[in-house]
Structure 1
Amino acid sequence: MGRENQTWMSEFILLGLSSCWETQVSLFVLFLVMYVVTMLGNFIIVLLIRLDSRLNTPMYFFLSVLSFVDICYTNSTVPQMLVHFLSAWKSIPFYSCVLQLSVSLALGGSEFFLLGAMAYDRYVAVCHPLRYTVIMHGGLCLGLAAGCLVAGFVNSLMETIITFQLPLCHNVINHFACEVLAVLRLSCVDISFNMVMVTISGFLVIMLPCVLVLFSYGHIVAAILRIRSTQGRHKAFGTCASHLTVVSMCFGTVIFTYVRPAAGSSAEQEKMVSLFYAVVTPMMNPFIYSLRNKEVMSASRRVLGKFNEKK
């Protein structure tokens, strides 16, 4: 029965954020600006790390991977959302919906694991500074980055398969994109098992990296408190402040949505949280990491100086 329904259901209708035309036009302009800023900001971060040899360190390697993931994640949902703001018929083909859900899940999960890896990098830098280059060698950094991406895609594959095996009664999704909880609401049967799997997935993808972050920063704080000079404490904390800000933004919003699905959060609340994570967080990451980071600002001046010399 489920497969027949899915074969017949060739497309889904997305309700989006608003049904008012004036509101949709305003949202289109707002999110178009945010989308452009996100793309430019993250692309500049990747480019600077690539062009400036002084940024060829583990911390900036992970930052470049994070920026690349943010670029891909934003492109998995926002361009379609922008088109739908100006469309009367907000449809998405069935297989495009499957692809969008799987890609966004994979990239979102990969980002959490990356934040955990970045926390470990900061732990080694602060707690074992003399052994930092030995521990965080190139092979380990590549392995951690690859492991983060593989873990995200494996989790996404599992969630996508069990979600779209369900028989679906209708095709109207109360969301601006194909999102797991929104798609599950279309099912004709009991989804208790799927909700349990969402909780387990949330624990593995969100809580495990969160535990690693807490463990790392627990040791970092203890190490900083042992530093006697105030200047030394500020310098040690400064290397972690940007990452800690991003961690708080990402983990806080998604834990609210996915780790406690049984809490009964409304579809509107889920849309707002998803919107924050899909649009706001990727846009803020380059600003958080660059504006508070003297090395990134210095690298941008050096790169601009090289281009001016060539002219």
Structure 2
Amino acid sequence: MDHVNHNWAQTFILAGFTTTGTLRPLAFLGTLCIYLLTLAGNLFIIVLVKADSGLSTPMYFFISVLSFLELWYVTTTVPTLLHTWLHGPSPIPSVACFLQLYVFHSLGMTECYLLGVMALDRYLAICRPLHYHALMSRQVQLWLAGATWVAGFSAALVPASLTATLPYCLKEVTHYFCDLAPLMRLACVDTSWHARVHGAVIGVATGCNFVLIIGLYGGILRAVLKLPSAASRAKAFSTCSSHMTVVALFYASAFTVYVGSPGSRLEGTDKLIALVYALLTPFLNPIIYTLRNKEVKEAVRRVTDRLKTVLRGP
């Protein structure tokens, strides 16, 4: 227990990126702009779904839950990235480091489960249209959304607690936030057993959901191909295309980072790939779900018209 207490009393150093000169302020401004646009884009979706009754469907409810999750997900890591851009290698108390590790992985696993639920929603809408509203009632939507958060925050307890109890001999984390592989490289002991446990927990969470999503989309594909007209097939596919794009982005980066041994990759690659799933994906999600989306455009028009009427007065 002595090394556990020592871990929680020490301070780590987040190395960040080794940029110098004019690149550093430019990187800071670029990251800040993407961060603010990410917050604005996800808040826009949440407010729009709440404000417009035309978007009061299960699909848009789950999209708004995803946007809420992305707000927290991006805020877990980007402030420390901005700090390292400004000040270079930055100290972080171990308590904050392990908390960041836990929250980041909790939100990541929650998103994993939520993407599975969203695939189930599309499957029921396309393959069970007559029973869809009964099967996906408001109570079921709330239960499913809540279950994803409980499952995500429960599953992340295992890798986070195992990592927090390791004895650490080194302080400098070769990353811009506290993640599993960079922390495990600092341990004084062999972490191969911990890596296997982490791989099993994260692998089950991501792998099982990925198999579920593939299976559900297999069912959707079979149902869509049976539709009589090309127009109806195109309409059915259009309701799934945004979700499939988000799933591809999420799983491509997650599998790259978390499948395999943490020691099998070059140290610098983790933080570069992390920019994709921790910063770029939350930024792109609102764009993916709103771009060329006729229902969202119509909802924006309705809300704008209502606002104009209110501002114009009686």
TM-score (norm 2): 0.96
- Provide Cα deviations, 1:17-58, integer angstroms capped at 9, x if missing partner: 224142221110111110011000000000000111111111
Separation in 2 of the partners of 1:96 and 1:42?
26
Supply the distance in 2 between the matched residues of 1:85 and 1:18 (Cα, whole angstroms): 9
Distance 1:263 1:244 in 2: 31
- In structure 2, give the amino acid aligned to 1:59: M
**How far does the alpha carbon of each residue in 1:114-166 deviate from its partner, in whole angstroms, 9 at most, with x for none?**
00000000000111111110111112111111111011101122211100101
> Aligned residues, how many?
310
Cα deviation 1:88-130 (Å, max 9, x = unaligned): 4511111111111111111111001000000000000111111
Q: Specify the alignment match of 1:126 in structure 2.
A: 126
Give the deviation of 1:292 after TM superposition.
Answer: 2.7
* Residue equivalent to 1:111: 111
Q: Which residue of 2 aligns with 1:6?
A: 7
Equivalent residue letter for 2:268: E
What's 2:277 paired with? 277
Structure 2 matches for 1:63-212, cutoff 5 A?
Answer: 63-212=63-212
SS of corresponding position for 1:292:
coil
Measure the CA separation in 1 of the matches of 2:261 and 2:43: 34
CA RMSD of aligned residues (A): 1.3
Specify the code of the residue in structure 1 equivalent to 2:303.
V
Q: Corresponding residue for 1:300?
A: 300
Structure 2: gaps of 5 or more residues: none
Q: Is the 8 A contact 1:52 1:303 kept in 2?
A: yes
- CA-to-partner distance for each residue in 1:242-269, whole Å, 9 max, x for gaps? 0000000001111111122368122211
- Deviation per CA, 1:287-309: give whole Å up to 9, x if none: 10011311111111111111111
What CA distance in whole angstroms lies between the structure 2 residues aligned with 1:185 and 1:219?
A: 43
Q: Supply the distance in 1 between the matched residues of 2:174 and 2:22 (Cα, whole angstroms).
A: 20
Contact 1:242/1:292 (8 A) holds in 2: no
In structure 2, distance between residues paired with 1:111 and 1:88: 31
| SS of residue matched to 1:12 | strand
C-alpha separation between the residues in 2 aligned to 1:287 and 1:65?
Answer: 16
Aligned partner of residue 295 in structure 1, secondary structure: helix
Deviation string for 1:228-255 (max 9, x for gaps)? 2100110110110000000000011111
> Percent of aligned pairs with the same residue?
38
In structure 1, C-alpha distance between the alignment counterparts of 2:8 and 2:262, rounded to whole Å = 30
Amino acid aligned to 1:227: L
Which SS does the other structure have where 1:49 is aligned?
A: helix
Amino acid at match of 1:2: H
User: Residues 18 and 60 (structure 1 numbering): CA distance in 2 closer, same or farther, change over 3 Å?
Assistant: same
Aligned residue for 1:13, secondary structure, equals strand
Change (3 A) 1:88 1:238: closer
TM-score where L is the length of structure 1: 0.96
